[in-house]
């Protein structure tokens, strides 16, 4: 990892939203072109079948998408999520690390589109999340 | 609320997924045609702007959608979420109750479609979540 | 139908996009709160199973969504579709009229969200389309 | 292109749905792992702004998605589209060829997920379509 990316990752980890801290999302790296993170699939994140709850998967992915959108923001702008779409492909077993990688599909001036792939501990894709962000002037 | 609905609500509250307990989702009522719940927007559910995190909104809605799909299941079947789509309409301020209501859009034998509206403390719609469930033979 | 709505419907029918004319979409009524239209499911709109092609259903719904967004535009603005999500619920048999009704789910200053229900000849819902529009200054 | 792919492409072109013929979609190649096609953006496919109508883009992409799902079907099964999600990234100018490429994101036994990228004449991505197919026993 280059120094600039190191620095960006540190800044994003410090300024993470409270919800990301509560979920114990671990930021691996942040750059304008890619955000990577992981999360331990503890028992409290599971569904009745014992796998990672779909809501927890979407929450984890949304944190990555928000950070990625923010890492690409022009000066004096902020970003808000307009919509998010998840396809669930596979269950994630508990007591392992789930991985997430977010990349841009499109970066327009006003609208950006991001795709986050959440994988299980064997790095098999378990969910694909596509979300749209709206860039607005900073308040 | 009728007695049968009372009984169903009690059963679902007892058998809620661990993730629903951890988020402190409060089940209001469960029937095959409608699931209602609420959640306190505590500080740990917020984003950097101080509102309810989009990921927390989706997690909350997903819990309702899963319960609604389960409340409509034929005997000896189980259900899994295939995909979920959220439109975000409005921020939800912290330190209030967010409300969720899930109703069926479609109940086929194999595929069911559900719509959950998450509203803020003044019952203004803040997010609309549409999700698809696949019904499978019980394991 | 009131006179104002009559007049709006006539104006929208005259200014319909070329693609709507080619598909032979018949506009029933246009108001800022609701757009209704129908289309004959001719053989050239069908799939290999003989029903209305999913692509034709989405094209029909998109025409309604675009008109509805336009009917609600503030002066000196234009609108563009950011994203569209369709759930398919039921096949539409050929040689009947398919019906579409579009209503707003949300009308913000910048973002509007619309829901179009496409029904078969017996008015049974066959597809539900949710789409997001971005309002921009007129060029 | 290998001979087997040549043969598959020819078979799919012959058995294309009526709607694909009407839209004049030109199949470039079909294999279980990739379907490619193009379409001329004639005036009758345009919107009021003169670009390719969003409904025409979705119709074009849906034809590719359906063919791709069919090219991957196990024997004695058929496939139906459950849902489709489109992100629009860029306008497609008229009087050029639009290109579409569909690849699998996931191929389970029951559920498959496909992603189609529609590009303009300069091969710049203009829309990304993700759709879910349900595999059923052949009738």
Instruction: Report the pLDDT averaged over residues B81-106.
Output: 98
Residue-level pLDDT at D105? 97
Nearest CA in chain C to B108: C89
Residue-level pLDDT at D16? 95
Residue-level pLDDT at C4? 80
Helix (H, G, I), strand (E, B) or coil at C56: helix
Residue-level pLDDT at A4? 80
Which pLDDT band, with edges at 50, 70 and 90, does C3 fall under?
Answer: confident
CA angle C38, C42, C44 (to 5 degrees): 125
| Count of alpha carbons within 13 angstroms of residue A13, beta-carbon side | 16
Whether the pLDDT of residue B126 is over 90: the answer is yes
The pair of structure tokens assigned to D87 is 């992100």
Whether the pLDDT of residue C1 is over 60: the answer is no
> Distance between alpha carbon B84 and the CA centroid of its chain, in Å?
12
Instruction: Report the pLDDT averaged over residues D22-45.
Output: 97
Mean pLDDT rounded to a whole number for chain B: 96
Instruction: Report the pLDDT averaged over residues B54-64.
Output: 98
Contact A83 B87 (CB under 8 A): yes
Contacts of D128 in chain A (CB under 8 A): 105-106, 113, 130
Residue-level pLDDT at B1? 56
Whether the pLDDT of residue B127 is over 90: the answer is yes
Asked if D84 and D130 touch (Cβ cutoff 8 Å), the reply is yes
pLDDT tens for each residue of A77-92:
999 999 999 999 999 9
Chain A CB within 8 Å of residue D91 CB: no
Q: Could you give the percent of chain C with pLDDT greater than 90?
A: 94
Whether the pLDDT of residue A1 is over 70: the answer is no
The Cα–Cα gap between A5 and A11 comes to 10
pLDDT tens for each residue of C41-83:
999 999 999 999 999 999 999 999 999 999 999 999 999 999 9
Name the C residues in 101-120 with CB < 8 Å from any B CB. Answer: 105-106, 108, 113
> Distance between alpha carbon C13 and the CA centroid of its chain, in Å?
12
Whether the pLDDT of residue D1 is over 60: the answer is no
Nearest CA in chain B to A47: B17
Helix (H, G, I), strand (E, B) or coil at A115: strand
Contact D134 B83 (CB under 8 A): no
The Cα–Cα gap between D129 and D57 comes to 9
Chain A CB within 8 Å of residue B59 CB: yes
Whether the pLDDT of residue A30 is over 80: the answer is yes
Asked if D17 and D58 touch (Cβ cutoff 8 Å), the reply is no
Closest by CA to C65, choosing from C2, C134, C14, is C134
Q: Out of A113, A128, A132, whose CB is closest to D105?
A: A128
Contacts of B108 in chain C (CB under 8 A): 89
Tokens 């759930």, residue?
A: C87
Nearest CA in chain D to B133: D82
The Cα–Cα gap between A111 and D52 comes to 20
Closest by CA to A80, choosing from A20, A131, A29, is A131
CB pairs under 8 A between B and C: 36
Task: Classify burial at D43, counting beta carbons within 10 Å of its beta carbon; exposed 0-12, middle 13-18, buried 19 or more.
Answer: exposed
In chain C, the N- to C-terminal Cα span, in Å, equals: 33
Contacts of D111 in chain B (CB under 8 A): 82, 134
Q: Chains with ≥3 Cβ pairs under 8 A against D?
A: A, B, C
Q: Where are the beta strands (DSSP E) in D6-123?
A: 26-31, 34-40, 77-88, 97-107, 111-119
Contacts of C132 in chain A (CB under 8 A): 82-83, 132
Chain A CB within 8 Å of residue B79 CB: no
How, if at all, do strands B125-137 and B34-40 pair?
A: unpaired
Q: Out of A80, A83, A86, whose CB is closest to B83?
A: A86
Closest by CA to C87, choosing from D18, A85, B135, D108, is A85
Helix H or strand E encompassing B47: none
Asked if B53 and A17 touch (Cβ cutoff 8 Å), the reply is yes
Which pLDDT band, with edges at 50, 70 and 90, does B5 fall under?
Answer: confident
Helix (H, G, I), strand (E, B) or coil at A139: coil
The Cα–Cα gap between B68 and C59 comes to 31
Residue-level pLDDT at A139? 79
Mutate to test the interface with A, among C109, C111, C130 (most CBs of A within 10 A): C111
Strands of the sheet with B111-119, listed across from one edge: A26-31, A34-40, A97-107, A111-119, A125-137, A77-88, B77-88, B125-137, B111-119, B97-107, B34-40, B26-31
Mean pLDDT rounded to a whole number for chain D: 96
Nearest CA in chain C to A130: C83
Instruction: Report the pLDDT averaged over residues B93-109.
Output: 97
Torsion on CA atoms A120, A123, A126, A132, rounded to nearest 10: 110
Residue-level pLDDT at C105? 97
Whether the pLDDT of residue B88 is over 80: the answer is yes
Angle between helical axes of A54-71 and B54-71 (0-180°, round to 10): 160
Closest by CA to A67, choosing from A22, A26, A127, A17, is A17
Nearest CA in chain C to D41: C19
pLDDT tens for each residue of A71-125:
999 999 999 999 999 999 999 999 999 999 999 999 999 999 999 999 999 999 9
Tokens 């979540």, residue?
A: B129
Residue-level pLDDT at A5? 80
Chain B CB within 8 Å of residue C130 CB: yes
Per residue in A55-90, is it b (16+ CB within 10 Å) or e — as a string?
bbbbbbbbbbbbbbbbbbeeeeebbbbbbbbbbbbe
Min Cα separation A122/chain B (Å): 21
Asked if D97 and D45 touch (Cβ cutoff 8 Å), the reply is no
Residue-level pLDDT at B101? 98
The alpha carbon dihedral of A22, A25, A29, A30 has a sign of: negative
The Cα–Cα gap between C18 and C24 comes to 10
Instruction: Report the pLDDT averaged over residues A6-14.
Output: 93
Task: Classify burial at C58, counting beta carbons within 10 Å of its beta carbon; exposed 0-12, middle 13-18, buried 19 or more.
Answer: buried
Reported pTM:
0.96
Residue-level pLDDT at B36? 98
């Amino acid at each position: 990892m280059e120094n600039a990316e190191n620095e960006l990752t540190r800044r994003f980890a410090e300024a993470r939203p409270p919800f990301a801290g509560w979920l114990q999302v671990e930021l691996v790296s942040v750059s304008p072109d890619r955000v990577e993170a992981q999360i331990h699939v503890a028992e409290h994140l599971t569904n009745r079948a014992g796998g990672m709850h779909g809501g927890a998967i979407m929450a984890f992915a949304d944190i990555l998408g928000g950070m990625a959108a923010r890492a690409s923001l022009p000066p004096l702008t902020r970003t808000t999520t307009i919509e998010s779409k998840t396809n669930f492909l596979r269950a994630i077993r508990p007591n392992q690390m789930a991985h997430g990688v977010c990349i841009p599909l499109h970066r327009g001036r006003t609208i950006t589109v991001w795709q986050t792939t959440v994988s299980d501990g064997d790095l098999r894709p378990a969910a694909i999340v596509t979300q749209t962000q709206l860039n607005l002037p900073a308040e």
